Amino acid sequence: MYVRKIWGLMAIAAFAWLAACLPCGAETISLNGSWELVFDEQQAGESKEWHLDKNFPASSAIEVDIPCSWETVCKDFEGIGWYRKSFNVPAEIKGKAIRLHFGAGGEEKHCHGRT
């Protein structure tokens, strides 16, 4: 199993899942559940490259269960939230095309530090 990390700049948290095209058809792996969330009140995350694992402010993160709205955590927050999730990718899909689907979200998403 390969450990992968995903984090994204998202305006609204909802659900996400990983879909891989396998010979027998499409397989879906749900990424619902526990995610890390940091509210970027100072809008510093982009300039400080929070999308990179080494720069993500994990000590400030709170755990949220996705799907949810961040309103359940911080009512009336208007701004940017950074989410991060670690998950295992099954070995049988190594080298295959994968598709990440976010049920909701903001303008930008990063996977392994890439937009």
Residue 105 is predicted with a pLDDT of: 65
Tokens of 29: 């792996």
Q: What are phi and psi of 47, to 5 degrees?
A: -70, -30
Position 114 confidence tier, pLDDT thresholds 50, 70, 90: low
Q: What is the pLDDT of residues 16-68, one digit of tens each?
A: 333 333 344 567 788 889 999 999 999 999 999 999 999 999 999 999 998 88
pTM strictly above 0.75? no
Q: Which amino acid is at 107?
A: E
Residue pointed to by tokens 């995350």 = 45
Instruction: Give the whole-angstrom CA distance, residue 11 versus residue 82.
Output: 8
Which residues are CB-contacts of 108 (< 8 A; sequence separation ≥ 6)? 8, 9, 115
